[in-house]
């Protein structure tokens, strides 16, 4: 559940790219927080956790973009994934669900109940 220094160096090799370090301690701090109080920087860290060797960015039309990084340290267009938000449903899945599942599968961290309530609400609303 901790980032690898070699992944960070790989993603940041091109210069102007930020890597959102994640550690089990920081992840534990975030997931025990009410989901409505989680800050943008913490969401970036959790998304980086899902894509440890990719660049996390944003675009004009979609706020969450995930890019591969080339050997030269530059992002490779187009993005490999693009989301309108953490609750952007596609084929019964979204980033929030993937974050919860990843944490449950790879740790014993306790996730605040508000995360599961939001998950239920997203499932009820379904794909738009």
| pLDDT reading at 128 higher than 70 | no
Residue ranges covered by each domain of the chain? 5-125
- Residue 127 pLDDT: 63
pLDDT in tens, 52-109: 999 999 988 899 999 999 988 899 999 999 999 999 998 899 999 999 999 999 999 9
Q: DSSP alpha helices (H): ranges in the chain?
A: 5-12, 24-31, 40-50, 95-106, 113-125
Stated pTM of the model:
0.94
Q: Tell me the HSE value of 57 on the side-chain side, using a 13 A CA sphere.
A: 20
Q: What is the pLDDT of residues 100-116, one digit of tens each?
A: 999 999 999 999 999 99
């Amino acid at each position: 559940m901790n980032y690898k220094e070699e992944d960070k160096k790989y993603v940041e090799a091109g210069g102007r790219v930020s890597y959102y370090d994640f550690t089990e301690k920081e992840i534990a701090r975030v997931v025990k927080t009410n989901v409505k109080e989680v800050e943008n920087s913490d969401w970036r860290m959790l998304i980086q956790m899902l894509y440890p060797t990719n660049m996390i960015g944003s675009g004009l039309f979609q706020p969450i973009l995930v890019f591969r990084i080339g050997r030269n340290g530059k992002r490779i267009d187009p993005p490999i994934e693009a989301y309108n938000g953490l609750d952007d449903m596609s084929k019964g899945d979204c980033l929030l669900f993937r974050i919860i599942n990843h944490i449950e599968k790879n740790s014993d961290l306790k996730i605040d109940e508000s995360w599961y309530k939001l998950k239920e609400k997203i499932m009820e609303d379904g794909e738009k």
